[in-house]
Chain A
Amino acid sequence: MKRNHIIAIVIIAVAIGALVGSLYDSSTYADLDQAMAHPGKEFHVVGTLDRSEAIIYEPSLNASLTTFTMLDLQGKRCTVHLAKAKPQDLERSERLVLIGEANASGEFEARDMLMKCPSKYNEENKVDASDAFSAKR
């Protein structure tokens, strides 16, 4: 066997290893039911903030703990403990991705959170425009 063949085999092996490794280290998107079914396993849960419940952030107790309620895409509700200071725009968020795990008592403990805020563009323009239009009439 020539040296180049050995090199080629090693390269292909490492490449496949990297591919499988990246799949293996991947987390999983899930809904709350799945996360609750596997407490202690890390998931990414996509959902929205439940605005009917209070957001509890009390820096004098702990500056790195925010507690709120989320709704997943199936509409299931769950209390979330986020181990971060309250993001400035949490109230206005339109989509949350929580990274963490469920605990035994059915709450979600999030290590981190990604947040999408709305581009207020469409709603604002439409509302304002129709107001102006009806006012003119």
Chain B
Amino acid sequence: MIEYIGEHTWAGQLGHVLAILSFVGALLATMSFFLGERGKKLEWIKLGRLGFRLHSLAVLGIVVMLFTMLFKHWFEFDYVWKHSNLQMPLRYIASCFWEGQEGSFLLWTFWHMVLGNILIFKAKGWEAPVMTVVALVQVFLATMLLGIYVGDFRLGSSPFLLIRELPENLGLPWTGMANYLAAIPSFADGRGLNPLLQNYWMVIHPPTLFLGFASTLIPFAYAIAGLWRRDTNGWITPALPWTYFGIMILGTGILMGGAWAYEALSFGGFWAWDPVENASLVPWLTLVGAGHLMLVNKRKPNSLFSTFLLTMITFILILYSTFLTRSGVLGDTSVHSFTGDGMLPGLLVFLLFFIALSVFMLIPNRGQRLYFVLVSVALLLIGVLLELQVHAILLFGAICIGMLVSAYRNAFASKEPEESLWSREFWLFIGSLVLLLSAMQITFSTSVPVFNLLLEPFDQFFGWIAEKTGSSFFADLSTAKLAPPGEAIAHYNKWQVPFAFIVTLLISFGQYLRWKDTDLKKFRRQIALSFVLALVITIIGVLVLQYRLAELNLIALFFSTTFAVVANALYIPTVLKGGLKNGGPSIAHVGFALVLLGALVSTSRQNEVSRNTRNMDLRFLNEAFNNNEDILLYRGDTVRMGEHYVRYKDKTQKAVDMVFNMEYFNVDPKTYHNGDTVRVGEMLFRSKTDHQAGKFFLEDQPANWEPLETFPQRVLWHAREWTSTRPGAPVFQLAPFVQLNPRFGNVAEPSTKHWPDRDLYTHVRYADLAMASDTADDLGCPTGCTKSKWVTRSSPHRPWPLSIV
């Protein structure tokens, strides 16, 4: 046994013990709360609380330990070495904490733990069944942090592993050195945090998002509890505030992610339909659907099955997203998905277990439940023992769907007459289903890599169809090598714009409908003003923003979002008579519609002003190549770009950031004087008058310019080209920068000028980053060329354009 020098072995051991304690505590709580609910015994519930407190303390302990390790820079620990270093500012310790797989699971567990403790105080009569579910989820999450081996299979992954304990390092010679920490230079400093994440958004975005994720568990737990007690209505009232809390927090988290992407990352927008972004949006959509159905069914059972389905599917989608982004199944398709690290089986079991639990609870009779359990266990055995996982999962899916249909027919199908067509509940129901469809579409397209795995058993079948019909679509399916849509944004927009249209349309008139039935005359009178106003605004908007007829879907969405804003804003003074007590929904709807309207206008009216004017034309290579993305600037250059002249002044290094200073000038008309000489192509012209240049030389020429017949070639070279404008007064400066990071690669961060009506977004695409080029290097350069190269890409988001050049 070697006595290692300088290791904080105790910290790792304490961490492991705490991880095991958190698992044991959660298990104890699950079983005690379960027995407490079964036997209605207070003793068991008390034991359950004790177990959950033990679990809570252990989770807190793990959090404290991990922070301590990061804070003290104990680089012998793998997690600390991988995610932090000495140079990093202290404020990013939090970012290091949740950058990795284990840390983010810990963050999620932490929020569940906090919410669980609130439930123990607040849930009253519902405590036992609800806490059974919460604690059960915690059992699964706790195993993700255990990192212990069961045979050859590793259960979870621990953040408390020493680097020398990693499987790939076991038995290497250096692990036998007692003083390895001092002797090996690599251990003096960690790898550091990915520069993309060294950002204050990384400090506030993940905790918010994970609190949102965590809060979807509570409605799920209440739904299971309701089914367990066969009280299919009673669970809704206590679950309702949690649902809206989740909608608010998760929504805030998503918006923060968008703001981060736009303000600080060089993605060039706030939403790119990336799998990781979708993973947070999809559960939000179904949660909103569930929340609205709860409002309907709180009063009287009307669409209970859908309420259960949406509530449960929200939590299951959270698990599915976790599976998708963390198991490595997405592989090459996302820029920021995790790489698996052997988490796939654990996450898959986690997901399938809760799907099975949800279906099991929805089945109304004992016999069918038993049958479902037997079949599920049989499929699990077939999947594991016979290595037929894909077949087993497909069969399981089919059986779940069959069970759900039968459960609906037996227990939920309404025997009462259908609700009126013009009732609020009917359209809320429709709206929730549209949200579900929207979520499904996003899920399908994000899951393309999963289809490759699931469609494998059908390869021969698709191949056979392809042979018979000669269809290349089926031929692609049979090779099972599908990649995500090439034009991802266009693909998602094609589907989501119509969904958004229907949803915003429903938002606008939904509240004007009454429960049960609506007096249509009154309805028309109340809504007419909003409708006309929205129509007028839309017409003005279409004219100002120059929407073309080909963009009819965008015009429709423009109208429906405007309608939603106006109708909900007017709902408070007209229907509520100014009473703000019931105005909450209207205000929330106005906010949501404004977000959509802003996203619609800014993304559809975004253009790149950095036209690449003086370089070779890329379209000779490929017609689809975009020529206008980047503009090239040498240091000191002043170039026309959109509505400004832009000048690359200089660059300065501030710590790890190479800052590029850009000056923007007004565009002023150019004035020529009598006798000025300009070059146009291969010809020289002399001005006959004092005049202000027009838009085109050919228009100015007859009145103002005379061609020079003979001139020395030297004069032609030195003459300036005719321009219609010149740089005017400086208006503002932007300073995009490149964060230098030799280990992860440099990261360009944008700088954006905001006006009330538009933005100008600039970032460095490519630059000579050597500071030395200011001095010695420049000598080697031909005259007229400095070595610093500058490429900037600017795209203003212009909600209301001034004039399009």
Q: Are A3 and B418 in contact (CB under 8 A)?
A: yes
Q: Are B618 and A128 in contact (CB under 8 A)?
A: no
A29 to chain B, nearest CB (A): 4
Q: Are A22 and B485 in contact (CB under 8 A)?
A: yes
Interface of A is mostly: mixed
Q: Are B618 and A65 in contact (CB under 8 A)?
A: yes
From B433, B615, B745, give the contact of A61 (CB < 8 A): B615
**For the complex, what is the distance from the CA of A61 to the CA of B631, rounded to whole Å?**
11
Q: Are A27 and B484 in contact (CB under 8 A)?
A: yes
A73 to chain B, nearest CB (A): 12
Q: Are B481 and A7 in contact (CB under 8 A)?
A: no
Q: Are B622 and A24 in contact (CB under 8 A)?
A: no
Contacts of B485 in A (CB 8 A): 22, 25-27
**For the complex, what is the distance from the CA of A99 to the CA of B483, rounded to whole Å?**
10
Q: Are A99 and B486 in contact (CB under 8 A)?
A: yes
User: Assuming the A-B contacts A83-B622, A88-B745, A133-B177, are A59 and B791 also in contact, with contact meaning beta carbons closer than 8 angstroms in the complex?
Assistant: yes
| B 82-110 binary contact with A (CB < 8 Å = 1; else 0) | 10000000000000000000000000000
Q: Are A24 and B473 in contact (CB under 8 A)?
A: yes
Q: Are B632 and A28 in contact (CB under 8 A)?
A: no
Name which residue of chain A comes closest to B614, CB basis: A60
B481-495 residues at the A interface, CB under 8 angstroms: 481-487, 491, 495
A56-80 residues at the B interface, CB under 8 angstroms: 57, 59-65
Name which residue of chain A comes closest to B626, CB basis: A83
Contacts of A125 in B (CB 8 A): 163, 169, 184, 186
From A18, A81, A130, give the contact of B622 (CB < 8 A): A81
Q: Are B491 and A25 in contact (CB under 8 A)?
A: yes
Q: Indicate if B125 sits at the interface (CB-CB under 8 A).
A: no
A83 to chain B, nearest CB (A): 4
User: Assuming the A-B contacts A59-B766, A89-B745, are A22 and B186 also in contact, with contact meaning beta carbons closer than 8 angstroms in the complex?
Assistant: no
**For the complex, what is the distance from the CA of A83 to the CA of B627, rounded to whole Å?**
8
Name which residue of chain B comes closest to A31, CB basis: B481
Q: Indicate if B523 sits at the interface (CB-CB under 8 A).
A: no
Contacts of B495 in A (CB 8 A): 18, 21
From A44, A83, A103, give the contact of B483 (CB < 8 A): A44
Name which residue of chain B comes closest to A129, CB basis: B174
B791 to chain A, nearest CB (A): 5
**For the complex, what is the distance from the CA of A124 to the CA of B186, rounded to whole Å?**
8
Q: Are B791 and A63 in contact (CB under 8 A)?
A: yes
**For the complex, what is the distance from the CA of A34 to the CA of B441, rounded to whole Å?**
29
Q: Are B624 and A111 in contact (CB under 8 A)?
A: yes
Q: Indicate if A52 sits at the interface (CB-CB under 8 A).
A: no
Q: Using C-beta atoms within 8 Å of the partner chain, give the interface range for chain A.
A: 35 or more
From B486, B625, B744, give the contact of A27 (CB < 8 A): B486
B801 to chain A, nearest CB (A): 25
Choose the segment among B152-160, B257-265, B443-451, B706-714 that binds chain A (4+ C-beta atoms closer than 8 Å). Answer: B443-451
From B82, B185, B481, B482, give the contact of A128 (CB < 8 A): B185
Q: Are A26 and B483 in contact (CB under 8 A)?
A: yes
From A19, A46, A84, A95, give the contact of B444 (CB < 8 A): A19
**For the complex, what is the distance from the CA of A103 to the CA of B619, rounded to whole Å?**
13
From A28, A88, A111, give the contact of B481 (CB < 8 A): A28
**For the complex, what is the distance from the CA of A63 to the CA of B746, rounded to whole Å?**
18
User: Assuming the A-B contacts A15-B440, A111-B624, A114-B335, are A129 and B172 also in contact, with contact meaning beta carbons closer than 8 angstroms in the complex?
Assistant: yes
Q: Are B185 and A132 in contact (CB under 8 A)?
A: yes
User: Assuming the A-B contacts A89-B745, A103-B622, A121-B191, are A63 and B632 also in contact, with contact meaning beta carbons closer than 8 angstroms in the complex?
Assistant: yes
Name which residue of chain A comes closest to B488, CB basis: A25
Q: Are A117 and B332 in contact (CB under 8 A)?
A: no
**For the complex, what is the distance from the CA of A124 to the CA of B185, rounded to whole Å?**
10
**For the complex, what is the distance from the CA of A4 to the CA of B409, rounded to whole Å?**
13
Q: Indicate if B760 sits at the interface (CB-CB under 8 A).
A: no
B170-185 residues at the A interface, CB under 8 angstroms: 172-174, 177, 180, 183-185
Interface of B is mostly: mixed
Q: Are B172 and A60 in contact (CB under 8 A)?
A: no
**For the complex, what is the distance from the CA of A88 to the CA of B621, rounded to whole Å?**
23
Q: Are A22 and B615 in contact (CB under 8 A)?
A: no
Contacts of B31 in A (CB 8 A): none
Name which residue of chain B comes closest to A60, CB basis: B632
Q: Indicate if A37 sits at the interface (CB-CB under 8 A).
A: no
Q: Indicate if B654 sits at the interface (CB-CB under 8 A).
A: no
The number of A-B residue pairs with CB atoms under 8 Å apart is 168
Contacts of A120 in B (CB 8 A): 191, 743
Q: Are B630 and A4 in contact (CB under 8 A)?
A: no
Q: Indicate if B616 sits at the interface (CB-CB under 8 A).
A: yes
B517 to chain A, nearest CB (A): 15
**For the complex, what is the distance from the CA of A63 to the CA of B612, rounded to whole Å?**
8
Among A28, A61, A62, A63, find the residue whose CB has the most chain B CB atoms closer than 10 A: A63
User: Assuming the A-B contacts A28-B482, A60-B632, A128-B185, are A133 and B174 also in contact, with contact meaning beta carbons closer than 8 angstroms in the complex?
Assistant: yes
Q: Are B174 and A132 in contact (CB under 8 A)?
A: yes
Contacts of A129 in B (CB 8 A): 172-174, 180, 184, 186
Q: Are A4 and B418 in contact (CB under 8 A)?
A: yes
Name which residue of chain A comes closest to B455, CB basis: A23
**For the complex, what is the distance from the CA of A92 to the CA of B624, rounded to whole Å?**
28
Among B612, B621, B743, find the residue whose CB has the most chain A CB atoms closer than 10 A: B621
A93 to chain B, nearest CB (A): 9
Contacts of B486 in A (CB 8 A): 25, 27, 42, 44, 99, 111
From B185, B421, B630, give the contact of A64 (CB < 8 A): B630
Contacts of A86 in B (CB 8 A): 766
Contacts of A46 in B (CB 8 A): 332
| A 11-45 binary contact with B (CB < 8 Å = 1; else 0) | 10011001101111111111000000000001110
B290-342 residues at the A interface, CB under 8 angstroms: 332, 335
Contacts of A59 in B (CB 8 A): 632, 766, 789, 791
Q: Indicate if B774 sits at the interface (CB-CB under 8 A).
A: no
**For the complex, what is the distance from the CA of A129 to the CA of B482, rounded to whole Å?**
42
**For the complex, what is the distance from the CA of A64 to the CA of B711, rounded to whole Å?**
38
| A 103-116 binary contact with B (CB < 8 Å = 1; else 0) | 10000010100101
Among B168, B184, B631, find the residue whose CB has the most chain A CB atoms closer than 10 A: B184
From B174, B448, B621, B629, give the contact of A130 (CB < 8 A): B174
**For the complex, what is the distance from the CA of A125 to the CA of B187, rounded to whole Å?**
9
Q: Indicate if B479 sits at the interface (CB-CB under 8 A).
A: yes
Q: Indicate if B197 sits at the interface (CB-CB under 8 A).
A: no
**For the complex, what is the distance from the CA of A57 to the CA of B632, rounded to whole Å?**
13
Contacts of A99 in B (CB 8 A): 486
A127 to chain B, nearest CB (A): 9
User: Assuming the A-B contacts A23-B482, A126-B172, A128-B186, are A64 and B745 also in contact, with contact meaning beta carbons closer than 8 angstroms in the complex?
Assistant: no
From B163, B174, B451, B743, give the contact of A23 (CB < 8 A): B451
Q: Are A18 and B441 in contact (CB under 8 A)?
A: yes
B416 to chain A, nearest CB (A): 12
Name which residue of chain B comes closest to A116, CB basis: B332
Q: Indicate if B359 sits at the interface (CB-CB under 8 A).
A: no
B743 to chain A, nearest CB (A): 6
B281 to chain A, nearest CB (A): 15
**For the complex, what is the distance from the CA of A46 to the CA of B615, rounded to whole Å?**
30
**For the complex, what is the distance from the CA of A44 to the CA of B487, rounded to whole Å?**
12
B146 to chain A, nearest CB (A): 23
Q: Are A95 and B744 in contact (CB under 8 A)?
A: no
- Ordered by A's residue number, 20 sampled pairs between the chains whose C-beta atoms are within 8 Å are A7-B433, A23-B451, A23-B477, A25-B486, A25-B491, A27-B482, A28-B481, A46-B332, A60-B632, A81-B622, A85-B629, A85-B630, A85-B765, A97-B332, A109-B625, A117-B744, A120-B743, A129-B173, A129-B186, A132-B183
B residues lining the A interface (CB < 8 Å): 82, 163, 168-169, 172-174, 177, 180, 183-186, 191, 332, 335, 418, 421, 430, 433, 437, 440-441, 444-445, 448, 451, 473, 476-477, 479, 481-487, 491, 495, 612, 615-616, 618, 621-622, 624-627, 629-632, 738, 743-746, 748, 765-766, 789, 791
Closest 5 CB pairs of A and B: A89-B745, A44-B483, A129-B174, A18-B441, A22-B445
User: 17 other contacts beyond A15-B437, A60-B615, with CB at 8 A cut-off?
Assistant: A23-B451, A28-B482, A44-B483, A59-B766, A59-B789, A62-B618, A63-B632, A64-B626, A64-B629, A65-B621, A83-B622, A89-B745, A109-B622, A120-B743, A126-B172, A132-B184, A133-B177
